[in-house]
Structure 1
């Protein structure tokens, strides 16, 4: 039996989540209430054989490019605090890295491995693998806003932010058919992430929790 159409349909229903990580772990309202709870967040799910990705050998940051039909917008990029601004910048690159792997502009997933670690890396690789299996990619727009950083230490931070994924969709790679989905409250997502600064000075996302339909993110 050919399961590809079924997979495409499933991905179309969750394509908005794909524009962020996209997707991760558990929709736990309590995570949004207490940023410290991200420490124990489980971004895993049903485990499967993960594709491999290797970070660049040097400390040079990978160049991330996205296709012309996919646009990501990140608001609140500058806080006046250099450390917080670094967290915001590396988190944005992580989002772009996942989408670059899905859309094929970074087929080796180098940027994913560069900006993710731990459970977040495992979740990202498994999500990319689902799109590859379904023969699907991404198109449209996503907007990230209300991004707030809390520095826990010199090498640990919590970042919460909202995502408007109402204009993001899955697309069949072979036919270019766009699987559009209606805009609902679930098109708006609250993300609660933990980032850890590695020896090279890169803020890597290590854990992530999403709350789809969160009231504070809806227009």
Structure 2
């Protein structure tokens, strides 16, 4: 969600949008390239932007909204990477909120260590009896191609309006906005045989200076 929010404390999860939705999945290794991002134009949001053949349709609850900026670079390869990354982030949130209980989209857009990290992150919400609500904005999204089938992507997340919610009581656990509400993600994506850019590695740096407003 890497997301995103601070981690679970007993029954509640603090600011959790990510993984997304907002969340923080952190495998042992990750992409190491971190160039300054460009992004501008906003693309959105809660409904899946496209469901081309074979791709799972991702739906999020009405009380959860994700916005992705800078989705059109003019380079079709980079645009495809940005689109699949956005779907990846939405897939994590769909698994957390229960709109994808089987995690089909999660497995579709993740592989390797990133998949394991995402599954572990979702499991923590489940164990805590928590879900997520609110808004998350992803910006400063910068793609660096590493050959025909590999790339790195860095981006920032604004999780200041994302919160955890108790599944049973629907109580929203609001937290104050601090520097840690802003997260830098550093990811690696690899194109599989079906042409999907799957996230294979991901780390996050909460409170990163370059993501502060």
TM-score by length of 2: 0.83
Runs of 4+ residues deviating >4 angstroms: none
**Structure 2 residue matching 1:195: 3-state secondary structure:** strand
**Structure 1 residue matching 2:195: 3-state secondary structure:** coil
* Corresponding residue number in structure 2 for 1:7: 10
Query: Structure 2: 5+ residue runs without aligned partners?
Result: 1-7, 35-52
1:77-96: CA deviation from partner (whole Å, max 9, x where unpaired): 00000000000000000000
Shift of 1:209: 1.2
Q: Tell me if structure 1 keeps the 8 A contact 2:19–2:118.
A: no
Equivalent residue for 1:73, pick from 63, 67, 91: 67
CA distance in 1, matches of 2:55, 2:148: 21
* Corresponding residue number in structure 2 for 1:35: 33
**Structure 2 residue matching 1:196: 3-state secondary structure:** strand
Could you say what the CA RMSD is over the residues aligned between the two structures, in angstroms? 2.3
| Larger relative helix fraction | 1
**Number of equivalent positions:** 189
* Corresponding residue number in structure 2 for 1:198: 192
Shift of 1:20: 3.3
Q: 1:184 to 1:21 in 2, by over 3 A?
A: closer
| Larger relative strand fraction | 2
Shift of 1:7: 2.5
- After TM superposition, list the pairs within 5 Å mapping 1:1-219 onto structure 2: 6-9=9-12, 11-12=13-14, 14-16=15-17, 18-20=19-21, 22-25=23-26, 34-35=32-33, 60-219=54-213
CA distance in 1, matches of 2:28, 2:210: 15
Shift of 1:26: 6.7
Q: Tell me if structure 1 keeps the 8 A contact 2:106–2:115.
A: yes
CA distance in 2, matches of 1:179, 1:214: 23
CA distance in 1, matches of 2:161, 2:54: 33
Larger radius of gyration: 1
TM-score by length of 1: 0.81
